[in-house]
Structure 1
């Protein structure tokens, strides 16, 4: 391999990453079902149909299942078919949900309603794209183009993050004189938040006030999240004050938790701490208690108050079951507070509990060891993982790669990087920073063969755009497997000496 090939790989590593929109917001326009169990079916036979559909969700189409049901002389009712559609949507089986939608009107001749049209618009957009949804909308008779249908198209544009098109539909709804509730405004607010059009959020909020459109919980949530993303303390305070004075809105634990994020971001520790205390007081009202607990643990850690992390941990586990994610949050929090000793104790507590094995938990401690240069302890923990008949994953080796680089052991980082690439599965990707460090090291050493091995492994795993021969891939694959066997044999020898 020429140096130009290595330079090309380095150039690939340095490509700018797509910047993600902040994930502070806790509002979603996604429609969910209130009940997704079989128990809600009115017709017991429809429950049987639903059970037939479920095993076929891996198939390209479920229409044959529906057709066979009718051929057997069975009947279907509209209410339960809509329930099946909603379940399929809930589990993001949009293609199959659209099939049931089409089958209802095309083969069962159920008259199509405004709600059916709105659902179909949404599903067409998700399955076939926004252009197909536009074509469907244009073909809808004018008398059926009611506010619900326009709102559905608005949601489609928002889902596709097409701001201009969404604004046009919103204006058309106003021009047509539709009674507009908070929902379309929430869609636009969330779209502006997701696309970082922060200035338009305040403008839209003023418009709602001028038109007397009442805010709901979601409206406030998006508004608050936008101020948190910008670390706008005045804005956060104003939203909380307004929510407190709105008798129609109940502030929950998450509201105060999101506000706390804003104060943490601004470095206002005491204000964030006050918000977390208010959030904790409302903890038992959370729909998912474990998630709320895990969130507060990490936020208390972010304020630097270790005593609060330990207090909440002990208080919660006395009364409630702590699951794997709770242990992971606790270990991560303690590592952020640089208390590796307490993190080790929590890990041992988790091991003693004999919960379902979760590689993320030892990985968290391995990462803590590697960042601190305690690479021997990290290796010992990997041995414990293997002794539980578990396998280190890409994240495990990523921690080692990072640790070796941080502590100037690049030759060992190269070996860890190869292991990381070899076991990586989508959507996992090797760290570009680590990859650059290792390739630069090999380039300086003139070790072209090893650089070539890394780049071919990248290609084999689909992380590069260049072509690679099958022979090269298999050679590298066998080489890594051989290295892994040597490591295993060395471990066996060490165990035999004990």
Structure 2
């Protein structure tokens, strides 16, 4: 059985190709108190100003005007911190201020950071212009590698391959990082055979594969439906004493085995993941993955066991409650979901509507529309803001109760807050359009469909089918 690359990318909860490289090479925030993170330091003024429309320059200038000091190491820490928060524009402003206003000299690592920030804020062309104006003395391996990273993120295969060859020619391709960027590129573009060529080259040069190298290849094998290749990579990882495996590895493989129906092999890997969180990796992501995967394996008792362990070992956040509730919905256990929801309410955490959203979905799927509406009203009375999915769940619930006018209104509310490329149920969409057409509101139906197109809710092909349905009173499928 084969799995498509599209399906893997969209169903894998780890969102591998966007997150795993940052895990090993990116800037991540930490829960520990940093020596620069203190109330009387300029970061306390910068941190709350999250809007990209705001500039950090006046804040920094005012700090200096007040006669307060700001050290080079502190500014570099701020840049790293803002980058980890994805406040790229602000990080770039601080980087420029550091050199333009404080005259701190740039080091190659600073230049590499700025290349990446230029790309994220202004695009590839501006990043290339900046790179081309860098003095030769600052063009160290990390700077070339930063531009390579830009090319791979842009999926510019020709430019990335040319830069990789330049790194080889200059003798800069000595570590795993540049190879991993290329591995990530070939994964995203589906040219998996080139990944093996890179791994062979690394072996010939004596460059050790790190966890990213092997995990990205593992993911490509999963996308290709190659279980033998996956087993080979897992064996390589487990036999390498210098490699510290993370939960992602076992999660990726276990999810693959579940998708192809090899439940026993998946359970073996989940057992290893289970042991891992008991001994060394007590992470939220590992617990959430275990809950999800045990549910997909049909092991309800294991879901409850992991949840009890989760509560013993960690402080449960909203995401944890969402994970266990979503897992229990796979068993149709609405009563169990209600009990977890009551636990969440008793903790008085921030009112994240994604939590009641899970229970509302369960209610709507099980014909409990009254409970769904009551919970929606309760959440809104507490200041919660329904998600687009919440309105879609209600629309589906109304459809199943033959309350089509109410479904149309719920779907309109969903559309008004819908993010690009979100896909509501086609059944719900068709029923709503049919209702509008049958009640003589052809113009309203056409406007409704065009609003769906404007919000990128479905493809032009499906749009044309709906419009044809309106005009011909028959949906062609």
Q: Where does residue 417 of structure 1 map in the other structure?
A: 411
Aligned equivalents of 1:79, 1:194: Cα separation in 2: 36
Q: Secondary structure at the match of 1:109?
A: coil
Q: Does 1:402 align with 2:396?
A: yes
**Take 1:456 and 1:162, find their aligned partners in 2: how far apart are those partners?**
34
Aligned residue in 2 for 1:101: 95
The answer on whether the counterparts of 2:250 and 2:270 sit within 8 Å (CA) in structure 1 is yes
1:40 aligned counterpart, secondary structure:
coil
Provide the TM-score with structure 1 as the length reference: 0.79
Residue equivalent to 1:263: 257
* TM-superposition CA deviations, 1:71-98 (whole Å, max 9, x none): 4454443222212221222222222222
- C-alpha spacing 1:251/1:56, structure 2 compared with 1 (3 Å): closer
Distance in 2 (CA, whole Å) between partners of 1:301 and 1:311 is 12
Where 2:396 maps in the other structure, the secondary structure is helix
Q: Tell me if the contact between 2:420 and 2:455 (Cα under 8 Å) persists in the aligned partners.
A: no
Distance 2:272 2:237 in 1: 14
CA displacement at 1:138 relative to structure 2: 1.7
After superposition, what is the alpha-carbon deviation per residue over 1:158-212, rounded to whole angstroms, capped at 9, x for unaligned?
A: 2222222111100111112225201111111112222332222222112212222
Identify the match of residue 44 of structure 2 among 51, 62, 77: 51
- Deviation of residue 21 (structure 1)? 4.1
| C-alpha deviation, 1:271, in angstroms | 0.4
Between 193-202 and 56-65, the greater mean CA deviation after superposition: 56-65
Q: Which residue of 2 aligns with 1:281?
A: 275
Asked whether the 8 Å contact 1:21–1:194 carries over to 2, the reply is no
Q: Structure 1, residues 253-290: CA drift from partner, whole Å, max 9, x if none? A: 33212221121122110000110011011114566633
Computed over aligned residues only, the root mean square deviation of the Cα atoms, in angstroms, reads: 3.3
- Within 5 A, what are the aligned runs for 1:330-349? 330-349=324-343
Q: Which residue of 2 aligns with 1:31?
A: 26
Q: How does 1:347-358 map to 2 (within 5 A)?
A: 347-358=341-352
Judge which range, 93-102 or 237-246, deviates more.
93-102
| Higher RCO (CA 8 Å, separation ≥ 6 residues) | 1
Distance of aligned partners of 1:315 and 1:100 in 2 relative to their CA distance in 1, 3 Å threshold: closer
Aligned to 1:313: 307
1:382 counterpart residue number: 376
1:150 Cα deviation after fit: 0.8
Q: Give the TM-score normalised by the residue count of structure 2.
A: 0.82
Q: Distance in 2 between matches of 1:202 and 1:460?
A: 42
* Rg larger in structure: 1
Counterpart in the other structure of 1:489 = none
Q: Structure 1 residues 453 and 182, CA, compared in 2 at 3 Å: closer, same or farther?
A: closer
- Give unmatched runs, 5+ long, in structure 1: 1-17, 465-498
Q: In the alignment, which of 115, 137, 144 is matched to residue 131 of structure 2?
A: 137
Q: Tell whether the 8 Å contact from 2:424 to 2:457 is kept in structure 1 after alignment.
A: no
Q: Deviations over 1:445-490 (max 9, x none)?
A: 43336536746976998989xxxxxxxxxxxxxxxxxxxxxxxxxx
- Asked if structure 2 preserves the Cα contact closer than 8 Å seen for 1:27 and 1:190, the reply is no
Q: Does the 8 Å CA contact 1:189/1:204 hold for their aligned counterparts?
A: yes
Does 2:448 align with 1:448?
A: no
2:80 maps to: 86
Aligned to 1:40: 35
Q: Is the CA contact (8 Å cut-off) linking 1:343 and 1:365 kept in structure 2?
A: yes
Q: Residue 221 of structure 1 corresponds to which residue in structure 2?
A: 215
Give me the whole-angstrom Cα distance separating, in 1, the residues matched to 2:312 and 2:45: 43
Residue 252 of structure 2 corresponds to residue 254 of structure 1:
no
Q: Cα 1:256–1:463, aligned 2, differ >3 Å: closer, same or farther?
A: closer
How many residues in Structure 1 have an aligned counterpart in Structure 2?
Answer: 444
Aligned 8 A contact 1:220 1:239 in 2: yes
What is the correspondence of 1:316-331 to structure 2 with a 5 Å cutoff? 316-318=310-312, 320-331=314-325
Where in structure 2 are there 5+ consecutive unaligned residues? 1-5, 459-477
Report the 3-state secondary structure (helix = DSSP H, G, I; strand = E; otherwise coil) of the residue aligned with 1:48.
Answer: coil
CA contact (8 A) 1:331 1:346 kept: yes
Kindly indicate whether the alpha-carbon contact (under 8 Å) linking 2:250 and 2:273 is maintained by their aligned counterparts in 1. Answer: yes
**Following the alignment from structure 1 to structure 2, what is the Cα–Cα distance between the partners of residues 65 and 276?**
50
Q: Is the 8 A contact 1:253 1:278 kept in 2?
A: no
Contact 1:231–1:265 (CA<8 Å) still a contact in 2?
Answer: no
